[in-house]
A and B are shown apart, each in its own frame.
Chain A
Amino acid sequence: MRKYRRAFFIPKEIFRIKKFTFSIAIVVIVILVALIGPLLYPKLNLSLYAGPPDSPPSNEYPLGTDRNGRDILSHLLVGMRTSLYVGAIATVIALTIGVIVGSFAGFKGGIVDEILMMITNIMYTLPAILIMILIASYLKERSPLFVAIVIGITSWPWLARAVRAQIMSLKEREFVQMSKMSGLKGYEIIFEDLLPNMASYVFMSVALLLSISMLAEAGLSMIGAGIDPSTESSLGIMLQRAQQGEAVRLGRWWCFIPPGVVLVIITTSLLMLSTSIDEYFNPRLRGGK
């Protein structure tokens, strides 16, 4: 009986903002390299002593090898994929929890709001780092999925708060009252009326969460509390290996510069993406009209 003709303004005009086009191009390129790179690179070799250890970049090994002879380029390509995987899963988890908690707290108000906010505030104070360090001391097999889940369930509080604030201001708008008086129930109003109006914020949050999660993974892995390095590679793990091998002191830049640069590129372009989305939907930020 209900046929809603929904509008999703994925406006073409947004591509006119150079920042947006530029940053989304970089993000897409990085994702493609991460996904397809390992398939295209003919000399993919993830084993130890794939080549002579500590060799600088050459024709054989374009990014050189590390202290244990690992081919940096192979590990970089696979590492990008792992880091992105962790980032994506963590983002999905944090987004889902954050949006659901925030919108119900904001919309229902009263006791529901108080309870949900109490939970949110408690979760706020639990840093992923401490949890992971604790777990690292007990669990040997820390898969990327596991790390992603931990990051995801510790990153949602700020999003819940932000979503709640937006919902609380939107719900006073007359169109929400009209929907209420049309007999729509709470969750229907949240999903049909309120969330589509926050679409821009949701997109921004996805970009932000992705970059935060990838940095979190890198940080955790660097201190050895993240993904189990014995079976996997990620950008963070590569940095950790470089650190353990004293690559900085010994001048073996090819061990830490490539993963570092890739990390910087992906997180910066994600940040740029999120600010350009914000600028598009808030023209005031574009530098005055």
Chain B
Amino acid sequence: MPAKNNILKVENLTKVYEVGLFKKKYITAVDNISFSISRGEIVSLVGESGSGKTTVAKIILRLLPPSSGRVLYKGEDIWEKKGIESLKAYWREVHAVFQDPFASFNPVYKIDRILEQAFNLMGTPVDENAVNEALKEVALLPNEVLGKYPHELSGGQRQRLMIARCFLLKPQLILADEPVSMVDASTRASIVNLFLRLRDEYKTSIIFITHDLGLAYFVSDRILIMYKGEIVEEGPPDELISSPRDDYTKKLLESVPLLYGKWKGF
């Protein structure tokens, strides 16, 4: 990957949690990982629960400080940034879509608030035309969703709204943490497609964080397998599933239920 195309570079990132008051126990959630992402690339961070993938996402999103290591965005260390204005500038370009479409909304406010917050982040007044355009991109009718409370909409609609927010911001990098796992199967495909369109139309890089190897295989340019805080294998999807090198990757591939292949011994 040519260096100047790199938009994000993670170097020796580690996160250790201290647990306990007197007898301290140390839990290493992320163990010295390094990887980089280039413009317009879709990368999946695949791992089961406890693999550390969500922790990595929070560190990259500047929500959780690392214990050691660096995260470089366009060459600058994001944890060196100080002051609310430079943070806002970062979040304008690096944003997130989370797993639980209900918890992403504050239930006390109408959904319009998350779109208004986007304008606040950009420092521009609320532009109704831009809002309508963004809703159109995600196939939502303005009168269907504007002015409603989160509990009045379905999970699929809520998740689309989060992506509409991304269409407003047009970030350079999106971290999508299990964006479709809590959405019905029949709506899943159209939501995945929205991410692909962000990449195709705006060259947005996307990091998918997921346990679903099938989704990762389908959508990624590169897959990174995480296990116990480490990246154990990395590669393009076809290569990864046809010739896995790491034992954990092999075990994962053996356990994934298949639609065309058959498990041995069943």
Contact = CB atoms under 8 A, between A and B. Distances in A.
Q: Do chains A and B touch in the complex (CB under 8 A)?
A: yes
Interface of A: 1-9, 173-175, 177-185, 193, 196-197, 199
Contacts of B114: 178
Contacts of A7: 108-110, 149
Contacts of B98: 174, 177-178
B159 to A, nearest CB: 12
Contacts of B112: 5
B117 interface: yes
B106 A175 contact: yes
Nearest to B91: A181
A5 B107 contact: no
15 contacts: A2-B116, A3-B126, A5-B109, A5-B110, A173-B103, A174-B98, A175-B104, A177-B98, A178-B96, A179-B106, A179-B117, A181-B63, A183-B87, A196-B108, A196-B109
Contacts of A3: 116, 126
A197 B106 CA distance: 8
Contacts of A2: 116, 120
A4 B109 contact: yes
Contacts of A9: 108
Interface residues of B, number: 32
Please list the 6 inter-chain residue pairs (A to B) with the smallest Cβ-Cβ separation, ordered nearest first: A182-B117, A183-B88, A174-B98, A175-B106, A174-B103, A196-B108
Contacts of A183: 84, 87-88, 91, 120-121
Interface string B79-114: 000001001100100011011100111111110111
B61 interface: yes
B265 interface: no
Contacts of A1: 119-120, 125-126
Contacts of B95: 181
Contacts of A193: 106
A181 B61 contact: yes
Contacts of B61: 177, 181
A181 B96 contact: yes
Nearest to A177: B63
A185 B84 contact: yes
A175 B100 CA distance: 10
Contacts of A184: 117
B46 interface: no
A86 to B, nearest CB: 33
A177 B97 CA distance: 10
A193 B104 CA distance: 12
A177 B177 CA distance: 13
A180 B87 CA distance: 10
A180 B63 contact: yes
| Residue picked from A8, A173, A177, A181, most chain B C-beta under 10 Å | A181
Contacts of B149: 7
Given A175-B105, A183-B84, A5 B96 contact: no
B196 interface: no
B118 interface: yes
Contacts of B99: 174
